[in-house]
């Protein structure tokens, strides 16, 4: 599986985010605590499996103060 694009709406601390992986061959997530590095990995897990290791359910992943969230992952296989 090769990630191509990750789109987030009200997912954890992200109100809106679109990450284009299409030109990336190797990646490193870096930044200060609370920047959202783990949330990006959680979003990929949620898109693939409908759950994450850190949350009991989808309700725990909705951004505070909002009612809905979505995660869309586009990837290439083979």
Quick: pLDDT tens for 16-70.
999 999 999 999 999 999 999 999 999 999 999 999 998 888 889 999 999 999 9
pLDDT per residue as tens digits for the range 66-77: 999 999 999 999
For 54, residues 6+ apart whose C-beta sits below 8 A from its C-beta are: 38, 42
The helix/strand/coil state of 60 is: helix
pTM attached to this predicted model: 0.90
Which region, left, alpha or beta, applies to residue 12 given φ > 0 means left and ψ of -120 to 50 means alpha? left
Residue 14: its pLDDT value, please? Answer: 96
DSSP state of 62: B
Encoded tokens for 71: 């995660």
Rounded to 5 degrees, what are φ and ψ at 20? -100, 110
């Amino acid at each position: 599986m090769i990630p191509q694009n990750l789109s987030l709406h009200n997912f954890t601390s992200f109100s809106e985010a679109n990450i284009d992986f299409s030109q990336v061959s190797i990646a490193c997530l870096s930044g200060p605590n609370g920047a959202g590095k783990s949330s990006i990995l959680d979003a990929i897990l949620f898109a693939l499996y409908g759950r994450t290791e850190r949350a009991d359910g989808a309700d725990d992943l909705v951004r505070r103060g909002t009612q809905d969230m979505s995660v869309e992952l586009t990837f290439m296989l083979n």
